Copies of this chain bind each other. A is one copy, B any other.
Amino acid sequence: MSLLVIGSLALDTIETPFGKKEYTLGGSATFISVSASYFTENLRLVGIVGYDFPAEEIDFLKSKKIDTSGLIISKEYKTFHWHGKYHTDMNNRDSITTELNAFAHFDPVISKEFINSDYVCLGNVDPVIQLKVIKQLNKPKLIMADTMNFWIEGKPDSVIEMLKHINILVINDSEVRLLAKENNLIKAAKIILKMGPKILIIKKGEYGAMLLTSETIFSVPAYPIEDVKDPTGAGDSFAGGLIGWISKTNDYSDRNLKKAIIWGTIMASLSVQSFSLESIRKLKQSEINERYNKFIEILNYN
């Protein structure tokens, strides 16, 4: 099936206790599409970069069979740049710089070919932009979206409107509580399931992920990783594996969503073992499958 991914592309500077990388490829749409590329073909990317964006990174995306014809290259502005610094426990980070640059002018127009995509993944961008994209689409099978506290607090009406038009919402547990205004996670999830999406997937970082639909609750731990080098992009790698699997199998039954979450978990675990996109940009299928098998052992209670 075809999969359309919309979101940010960035050049990130990242500092963790294990080192520093400057102006390295990042952004939600990048992580999602590269992660999904290990599962599904017919991948379409829509985003904006600046005149400084390295041509070889576009070649890299193409090498992953990602259709980059929806990528706008601004002649006026530089690429979105984020500089983040993680602390010792890796669960907290400071944003040192956030330069939106070209991304501040992102106003996606979806091509005639792309509006007919089967599956759509809206990365974490302004909900107003997410809604603009949704309006252009021609009856996709399924729309999955991410959002964050910044938008839930800053543009709550747009977030609530966006929710009415999507099938899967993928957010962090703290964002579930914030959006539902309810502290108990399960109660909060049920409130969100009444706001539009029939499927809620909750990311809990090092504690794993959870699926909630009207029929099903499913919960998986994270894959245990000893050498977390950089958590940047873990959530988007998760989302990419998830939507990539759904698109590949063309199946979003509750049963197959469980499998999708497991594949997402695998991709997130591979992502955090190197800086930024480094590890997931050059994975072998055998590495992914091997980790999947190990994870099944960890989950197996018999």
Contact = CB atoms under 8 A, between A and B. Distances in A.
Interface string A94-126: 000000000000000000000000000000000
A18 to B, nearest CB: 11
A298 B206 CA distance: 19
A299 B298 contact: no
Contact of A210 (B221, B259, B302): B221
Nearest to A189: B224
B228 A224 contact: no
Interface in A145-199: 183-187, 190
B184 A218 contact: no
Interface string A197-221: 0000000101110100000011111
A218 B223 CA distance: 10
A301 B187 CA distance: 23
Nearest to A212: B224
Interface string A21-60: 0000000000000000000000000000000000000000
A282 B64 CA distance: 59
Contacts of A218: 298, 300-301
Interface residues on A, range: 35 or more
A125 B296 CA distance: 37
Contacts of A204: 207
A91 to B, nearest CB: 9
A296 B204 CA distance: 21
A226 interface: yes
Given A210-B221, A217-B224, A299-B301, 17 more contacts: A184-B225, A184-B227, A184-B228, A185-B206, A186-B226, A187-B226, A207-B208, A208-B221, A219-B222, A219-B224, A220-B301, A258-B300, A258-B301, A259-B301, A262-B301, A296-B301, A299-B299
